[in-house]
Amino acid sequence: MSEDIKEQVVAAIKESGNFSLQLDESTDVSDAAQLLVYVRCQGKNDMEENFLFCKRLETTTTGEDLFKLVDSFIKKEGLSWDQCFSVCTNGAPAMLGAHQGFTARVKQVNTAVIMTHCLLHRENLASRKLSLELNSVIDVIQIVNFIKPSALNSRLFSQMCSDMGSEYEHLLYYSCVRWLSRGKVLQRVFEMRAEVEIFLNEKKHALASRLAEPRWLLKLAYPTDILTVLNLLNISMQGTEKTHLFVSEKLKAFKAKLRSWKGKIEREENCVLSTLEPFSGR
């Protein structure tokens, strides 16, 4: 079935005559490096976006390795780099190296190809920077890592939540690969703070007292709201028919919202930060 789908996508590319590629080199749950390639070309009625292939990188993940994988696929399927109109990458050094990077090697075989850096990855990298004070919520990671990795603690915590009739029975992991999960991890800990405090007190954990500190909860609520809003922004910019102009306008509108929210917070007015709102005035 997958082979048939691939043949249909390749046939559509050949019929279109030109195509654009989007690449993302990532790591799966087994720590294996994977190269994911998507293609965009003119369909019968409109532009079409399809998943092209996923290949495992057996050893290193250099620009040469990435180029060899893509070049081998293109030649095997009877395509040509001359047909490639543009390439969008995630901005990793292996992709953007001036001499040995993937984009540099593509330029060697097609000097006319347009290279772009995914705006979603740029925005994600920029949003990782938090003030030192807000980074104190690193305690949340220690709390999650105390409960989740231990099979016994995880079962005991789940059973306790079930007995209490809690809405949730499990905390969430954060993974850099699945970067949209960051806000969800903080949100889940915040929503289950009462259950987590009880469990940590029973285990006599050093961080149990944190969950009773209004100041610490305030510093947890703020990034929880901000990262949740960023998650919604990131999701809205993904999917089909999301052009460069669409994403740019989304980011401009979001920056305008941030300025508005900043002014409201400085004037101690209500804003969209719902998790932070109960702590206003503290």
Based on the number of CB atoms within 10 Å of its own CB, is 203 exposed (0-12), middle (13-18) or buried (19 or more)?
A: middle
User: What's the domain count of the chain?
Assistant: 2
Residues 229-246: tens digit of each pLDDT: 888 888 888 776 777 788
- DSSP H helices in the chain: 2-16, 63-76, 93-96, 102-109, 119-127, 138-147, 151-164, 181-191, 193-202, 214-236, 244-266
Output the domain CATH number for residue 80: 3.30.420.40
Residues 187-240: tens digit of each pLDDT: 888 889 999 999 999 999 888 888 888 888 888 888 888 888 888 888 888 776
Task: Please check whether residues 266 and 201 belong to one and the same domain.
Answer: yes
Residues 100-155: tens digit of each pLDDT: 778 888 888 888 888 877 767 666 666 666 666 666 566 788 888 899 888 899 99
- Amino acid identity of residue 282, one-letter, is R
Mean pLDDT of the chain: 80
Residue 247 pLDDT grade (very low, low, confident, very high; cuts 50, 70, 90): confident
Where a domain ends, among 91, 117, 143? 117
User: What is the structure's pLDDT at 155?
Assistant: 92
How much is the pTM?
Answer: 0.65
Tokens of 264: 């409201």
Expressed as residue numbers, the domain containing 139 is: 126-279
Longest CA span, the chain: 67
Residue 274 reports pLDDT greater than 70:
yes
Tokens of 34: 């994977």
Task: Please check whether residues 42 and 109 belong to one and the same domain.
Answer: yes
Task: Please check whether residues 80 and 145 belong to one and the same domain.
Answer: no
For 104, residues 6+ apart whose C-beta sits below 8 A from its C-beta are: 63, 97, 98
- Cβ contact 132:100 at 8 Å: no
